[in-house]
A and B are shown apart, each in its own frame.
Chain A
C-alpha cells in the first residue's frame, strides 16, 4: 500500500490496518484511500484505505454498526441521498475519482449493480423488472430486451423458475427467488461491479445456499463486493476479506489468511465468535 496511513489522534488504541496482500496496480478495480465519512457530527468511517481486486469476491465483515454497509453504499454513491452526509478522501473506480466534482452519478451507477438486504423487486412483472435498467436507458427494441432478460435470468439462475411466468407480478415469487431476481436485475445492464449488501440476511438456508452458489458462478465475470454478517458465508464465497471494526478497516487480506491466520487478536476474537 503506497499511502502512508494517518492515525486518528482521538483513538490511541487503534492500530494501523494490517494488510496481508498488496495486489498490483493493474488488478485494482476499486481503490479507496484516506476515506472518512460523517453523518452530521458523528464520524462513521475513519481513514479507510483498501484496494479491491478486479474479478474477485471481496467480503466486508464486522460487527453491526462497524460501517461496512456505509462503505459499500459509498461505492455507488447511494449515500448521496442522506442529508448531512460528509466525506473526505478519495474513492477511485478504474483510476477515476468517483467523488470528483462533475461526475455523472447516474452513469456511475449504471456501471455497478447493487443487491440489497431485503429483496426489493419492483411492483411490475418479472420481465419488466429485469429490463427496467435497459428501459430507463431508452432501449425499445423488443428482441434485444427479450434477449437481455433471458441472459440476466439465466445468469442469476432463476430462469427455470421464472421463464413460464415472465408476465406475472414479481411480487408473487418466493423470497429467495425474489432475491435472485434482484441479482438478475443488477446484472441485466452488464455492470462491471456487483455490490451486495447482506444479500442473504432475509433468506432461509436453502435460498442462501442458492445465492452463494450463484455468487460463485458470477465470480470472475464481475468484481463482487459483499457485506455479510455470516463468517461462514464470507469464508465460503469470498477470495478476499476485510474485517472492519468501529468504522475502521482492521485487517484485510486473502480470506484463507484472515480466517486461519489473522494477525490481530481482535480479528481472531471476532472470527471465532468471542465478540460481535
Chain B
C-alpha cells in the first residue's frame, strides 16, 4: 500500500508506463472457443436435420406409384417389377468365372465392382420371393409396356402382370373395357365391405349379447350357488332370449353366405410376365393400375388413396400392408391417458417437496432418488408394470369385480390402462423435476405479497404460485409426453400387441375398454421392420410409420405448446 499521496501517484504512473500489447491475444478474445461451440452446434443440428429429412423423404415417397419396367435378361428370362434400389457390389471369383470375357474385363476395369438393381417383382405365391436382384450386365433390354398392371391384393401381397380375362358373373369382359372393370371392382369392394360388416359388427353384437347372458348366469351361480331358485330364473330368462339371438344369428349368417356366393362369381384372371396365370375374386384386389400408362393426376389419385387407406384402415398381411388406424388410436389414447395420470401425481409430489416439506436431508434423498428414477432402463418399468399393475392390481380387480369371467383375465393382463400407468411411472420424474423448477422460479415477492394480504399458504399456492408456474409445469408435461409416446420396450410387456382385434373404444357398454390390449405405432415399427416375413417389403412401411409417429408426437406437443404460450402470456408479463 502506498503510504503517501506522492507515492500513490508514482504507483499509478508505473502501471501506466507498462507497455500495452498492440494486439489482444487470440485466446483472450475467445474466438477459438466460439468456433468450437458453433461447430458442435452445427454438428448436432446436422445430425438431427439429416435424420428428420431421411425419415421425411422416405416416408413421403413410399406411396407414390412407380413405373414397372420389364427387363429381358441375356439368358432370355423376363423380370417385371418396380425398381426398388440400386447398389454397387463386388463379384466373387466363382461368379466371375462363368461370365463372358468381355464382361469380365469391364468388371475388372471397375476394380471388381458391378452395379445391380433390386426389383420388387411381387407374385410371392408364384415366385416364392418378392424381390429379385438383377445385375446390369445381365440386362439385354428394358421396356415399359403400357399393359402391365400393378395389383395390390388382400392376400399374398402385390401382383405384377397383365389381365388375361375378367368374368363378371358369367359375362366375360373384353380386354380394353377399363371403365366397366373399375365399376365392377368398386361394386365388389362394397360387397366385401358389407360381408365384413355383417360378420364383424352385426354378428359381433349378437355374440356380445350371448356372452353377456352367459356371464349373467355365471354371476348368479357364483352369488347364489348352483341349485338356487334365482339361478334357475336367470337361466330360464336367458334361454328364452337365446332363441331370439339364434334366429338373428342364422338370418345374418345366411345373408353373409348369400353375399359370399355372389362375390365368388366375379373373378379375374391375371398372368405374370412369364405367362403363368392366377385366378382370384375381383374383391380380393385392393387396388390396381397400369403402372406405365399413368398421368400425373392418376398417380396423385393413387398416392392419396394409399395415404387414405394407411390412415383409416386396419392392417393386413401381418401388418406390412393396409393401414395403421388402430395403432394411431392406441398411441394417442395411451399418451393422453398417461398425461392425465402423470400430471396430478407429478404436480402434487413436486408441490409437497418444494412448498411444504422441510428442506433437509430426507427431502434431498427423495429428490435424488426421483432424479435417478429417470435413469432406470424402461424395460424394468415394463416388468414392474406387468408384475404389480397387471398381475397383482389387475388380478385383485378381477377377483372382486369380474369373478364370473375367470379364469379368463379381464384386468389381470396387459392392457391400455396398465400401459398408461407404467408409462406414467416412467415419466413422473420428468414432471416432478420440471414442476419443482417452475415452482422455485416463482418470485418470492409474489408469495410474500399474497401472504401479506392475509392469504393462507394453500391460497397462495392455489391462486398465485400454481398459475404462475403453470407454463413451466406444461413444459414438463410436454417432455413427459414426448418421452412416453416414443417408448416401446415396456409396452411390449404390459399390453401392446401385434394385432389388436378390437379398438379400446366401441359401441358396447361401458364404451371405453381400458383393459383391452392395443396397438402402438412404436411397436408397429419394430414389428413391421424386424418381425415380418420379408423385412425388405416392410422397410417403406417402417419409414411411413416413423413419419406418422413423429408427426403424431409433434402434433400433440404443438397443441401443448400453444396452450402453454397462452398461459405464459396471461401469467408472466414483463415486470416493468
Contact = CB atoms under 8 A, between A and B. Distances in A.
Interface of A: 76, 78, 81, 83, 106-107, 109-110, 112-114, 116, 118, 120-123, 132-133, 135-137, 169, 171-172, 174-175, 178, 182, 185-186, 189, 195
Given A133-B453, A136-B455, A78 B575 contact: no
A107 B454 contact: yes
B450 A189 contact: no
Interface in B433-456: 443, 445-456
A81 B574 contact: no
Given A132-B463, A169-B573, A172-B573, A110 B454 contact: yes
A109 B454 contact: yes
B290 interface: no
- Secondary structure of the B side of the interface? helix
A109 B451 contact: yes
Given A122-B464, A123-B467, A136-B454, A116 B449 contact: yes
Contacts of A110: 453-454
B468 interface: yes
B24 interface: no
Q: Which residue, of B449, B451, B459, B574, has the highest number of chain A Cβ atoms within 10 A?
A: B449
B463 A136 contact: yes
Given A106-B456, A109-B452, A171-B575, A120 B463 contact: no
B571 interface: yes
B453 A123 contact: no
Given A76-B452, A109-B453, 20 more contacts: A83-B358, A106-B454, A109-B454, A113-B452, A113-B453, A114-B449, A116-B445, A116-B449, A118-B445, A120-B443, A123-B573, A136-B453, A136-B454, A136-B455, A136-B456, A169-B570, A172-B573, A182-B449, A185-B453, A189-B453
A195 B448 CA distance: 13
B576 interface: yes
Contacts of B570: 123, 169
A132 B459 CA distance: 10
Contacts of A122: 446, 449-450, 463-464
B10 to A, nearest CB: 31
A120 B454 contact: no
Interface in B417-475: 443, 445-456, 459, 463-464, 467-468
B572 interface: yes
B458 to A, nearest CB: 10
Contacts of A175: 576
A133 B456 CA distance: 11
Interface of B: 358-359, 443, 445-456, 459, 463-464, 467-468, 570-576
Contacts of A185: 449, 453
Contacts of A171: 573-575
Contacts of A109: 451-454
A92 B468 CA distance: 36
A109 B467 CA distance: 23
Nearest to B468: A123
A113 B453 CA distance: 6
Given A123-B571, A123-B573, A171-B574, A116 B448 contact: yes
Contacts of B446: 120, 122-123
A95 to B, nearest CB: 21
B568 to A, nearest CB: 10
Contacts of B452: 76, 78, 109, 112-114, 116, 186, 195
Nearest to B446: A120
A225 to B, nearest CB: 13
18 contacts: A81-B447, A106-B456, A107-B454, A109-B452, A110-B454, A113-B452, A114-B448, A116-B449, A121-B449, A122-B450, A123-B446, A123-B467, A132-B455, A133-B453, A136-B455, A174-B576, A178-B576, A182-B449
Contacts of B453: 109-110, 113, 132-133, 136, 185-186, 189
A172 B569 CA distance: 12
Contacts of A132: 450, 453, 455, 463
Given A120-B446, A123-B468, A81 B451 contact: yes
Leading 8 A-B pairs by shortest Cβ distance: A171-B573, A110-B454, A114-B452, A120-B445, A133-B453, A120-B449, A123-B571, A109-B454
B456 A123 contact: no
Nearest to B360: A83
Nearest to B358: A83
